[in-house]
Amino acid sequence: MKQEETQPLETEERYASVQKVLVWVLVANLAVTLIKITVGLVTGVLAVVADGFHSLVDSSSNLIGLAAIRLARRPADDRHPYGYQRFETLGALSIGVLMLIAAWEIARAIIERFTQGGTPEINLITIGLVLLTFPVNLTVVILEKRAGRRLHSEILLADARHTQTDLYVTGSVMLSVIGIWFGVTWLDQVVAAVVVLLIVRSAFEILRDTSRWLADSVVVDSEAIADVANSVPGVVFVHRIRSRGTPDAAFVDLHVKVSPGMSTSRAHAIASEVERRLVKEIDQVREALVHIEPVKKEQPSLWDRMAEDIRRLAEGMGLGMHDLHIHTDFDAGYVVEVHLEFSDQVDLQQAHALAEQFEQEVKRNWTDIKQIITHLEPIPQKLLGLESSASIPVEAQIREVIGKYIDLANVRSKQLYQTGDHLHLNLVLVLPGKVPLTEAHELAEEIELGLRSQIPSLSHVIVHLEPEPE
């Protein structure tokens, strides 16, 4: 799922690194520009002059990049709630425009040479200086492109692509200089024209890429977003996925469908988890926004409607609930069994009064419900620390009890821990996938009952069943 082999840096650290790279590239480009323009003007070699102005555009683009990075590194504020990252894109766009201007200036010089004539003069020093600029350009391209990929920087990648044309240009200029040395003067104009074409091509590539980000083209693969969202428990369906921004700062929004019987608080928790995973698992995602929608049911069953309403009534009173069971008594109607959750700061009288109020509200809404059995359960208001299971002496006894009901090879995992004075056991068992659910459930209840009755120190036992892998 990760987009690059390296982990992305924090925003401030990233921009500082990009700025440092641009400063070093600027120094190298200024040195190359000075050499090329000086040699070109002294000798009159048009191709060298063109190459010098091309390098001058490189230096100008570095200055634009530094200014853009200075703006882009600002944090989001009220005027720019999505941040200032687009200034980096605008900087890359400006580089493309400057390249087109440089191409026009060189093309105009070629036309003047054809119409007005002129013969360049060169010597061994000219050739040596031109050759010297090639390894400098090569080093700049390699290091800047590597830094651009590592830092996910548009401005560095655009500038590296721009500088890469210098390699072709310098190579062509060297052929031009050698041709002029041997008397083939027309080669100067031809090479200069090739340089113009290379500059124009690189400029249009930069303009094409930057215009995509400015036009809010898709920046994150929709399937990758859907895969992450669907990995969150409770998500039924994902649709209307959109992404915008830049390759290193993408903003994502999507619609997630959940069960219509789900509580508002749980649906909100699912949305928050989807947003958290998207930002964590997809590097370029800076922020995600999830819209929750209920899955439409054609004809919800009576149990679904009754269970949804009971949950809604409990939440309206500020009560949590779990283990809801609704039984049919054909003579008396329905019987409801439910565990109600209360703060551990509530006393018995307060809890009982709330439970009675809850029962009355349920019966008022559902006259067919004749009896409600509530189990009052305190929920700790703070997390309890876990103690190491190595200090608990009952593990051998647990294995012995489990072995009475099932082969120990069917035990996938066993977690035994202690919170305060309470001993807890989480057990994961593997059964054949074709075993009827009723039979599997009966086995789990027998094991749970056996553990609790034969090991009184166990306060809480959960038996989780899984099918054997095919």
pLDDT in tens, 105-160: 778 777 876 776 665 556 666 667 667 777 777 887 788 888 877 777 767 777 77
Identity at 120, one-letter amino acid code = P
Binning the chain into helix, strand and coil, the percentages to the nearest 5 are: 55, 20, 25
Q: What is the pTM of this model?
A: 0.46
Is the pLDDT at 417 greater than 80? The verdict is no
Neighbours of 300 (CB within 10 A): 14
Say which CATH topology domain 222-294 has.
Alpha-Beta Plaits (3.30.70)
Cα torsion through 61, 63, 66, 72, rounded to 10 = -60
**Whether the Cβ atoms of residue 362 and residue 369 lie closer than 8 Å to each other:** yes
Q: pLDDT-derived band of residue 253, with 50, 70 and 90 as boundaries?
A: very high
**Whether the Cβ atoms of residue 198 and residue 57 lie closer than 8 Å to each other:** no
% of residues, the chain, pLDDT over 90: 7
pLDDT in tens, 429-463: 888 888 888 788 888 888 888 887 788 777 778 88
- Compute φ and ψ for 182, nearest 5 degrees: -95, 10
Q: Which two tokens stand for residue 129?
A: 């200086």
Q: What pLDDT does 358 receive?
A: 92
CA 432 to chain centre: 38
Q: Where are the domains of the chain?
A: 11-214, 222-294, 302-379, 389-467
pLDDT in tens, 204-247: 887 887 777 677 778 888 899 999 999 888 888 899 999 888 76
In SS3 terms, 143-173 reads as HHHHHHHHHCCHHHHHHHHHHHHHHHHHHHH
Q: pLDDT-derived band of residue 252, with 50, 70 and 90 as boundaries?
A: very high
Nearest of 333, 321, 331, 325 to residue 366 by alpha carbon: 333
Q: What pLDDT does 190 receive?
A: 78
Q: Domain 389-467 belongs to what architecture?
A: 2-Layer Sandwich (3.30)
**Whether the Cβ atoms of residue 156 and residue 22 lie closer than 8 Å to each other:** yes
Q: pLDDT-derived band of residue 63, with 50, 70 and 90 as boundaries?
A: low
Most confident of 12-26, 380-394, 426-440, 447-461: 426-440
Is the pLDDT at 398 greater than 80? The verdict is yes
Q: pLDDT-derived band of residue 66, with 50, 70 and 90 as boundaries?
A: low
Residue 173 to residue 191: CA distance in whole angstroms: 7
pLDDT in tens, 323-350: 788 888 766 688 888 888 887 778 888 8
Mean pLDDT of 183-193: 73
Q: What pLDDT does 226 receive?
A: 92
In 3-state terms, what secondary structure has residue 467? strand
In 3-state terms, what secondary structure has residue 343? strand
Q: What letter does residue 75 receive in the DSSP assignment?
A: P
Is the pLDDT at 384 greater than 70? The verdict is no
User: Where do the DSSP E strands lie in 166-319?
Assistant: 237-246, 249-258, 285-294
Q: What letter does residue 387 receive in the DSSP assignment?
A: B
Q: pLDDT-derived band of residue 67, with 50, 70 and 90 as boundaries?
A: low
Q: One fold for both 11-214 and 389-467?
A: no
Q: Which two tokens stand for residue 461?
A: 């036992």
Is the pLDDT at 196 greater than 70? The verdict is yes
The yes or no reply on domain 302-379 and CATH 3.30.70.1350 is yes
Lowest mean per-residue pLDDT among 61-65, 167-171, 457-461: 61-65
Q: Name the residue with tokens 């830049």.
A: 246
Which residues is 166 bridged to in the sheet?
Answer: none
Residue 197 to residue 54: CA distance in whole angstroms: 12
Q: What pLDDT does 150 receive?
A: 79
**Whether the Cβ atoms of residue 264 and residue 315 lie closer than 8 Å to each other:** yes
Residue 373 to residue 200: CA distance in whole angstroms: 80
Q: What pLDDT does 58 receive?
A: 66
Q: Which two tokens stand for residue 236?
A: 């039924």
In 3-state terms, what secondary structure has residue 296? coil
- The pLDDT mean for the chain works out to 77
Q: What angle do CA 106, 109, 112 make, to 5 degrees?
A: 155
Residue 366 to residue 377: CA distance in whole angstroms: 24
Mean pLDDT of 187-208: 78
% of residues, the chain, pLDDT over 70: 74
Q: What pLDDT does 360 receive?
A: 92
Q: What is the CATH number of domain 11-214?
A: 1.20.1510.10
Q: What pLDDT does 228 receive?
A: 92
Residue 308 burial (C-beta neighbours within 10 Å; 0-12, 13-18, 19+): middle
Q: What pLDDT does 298 receive?
A: 59
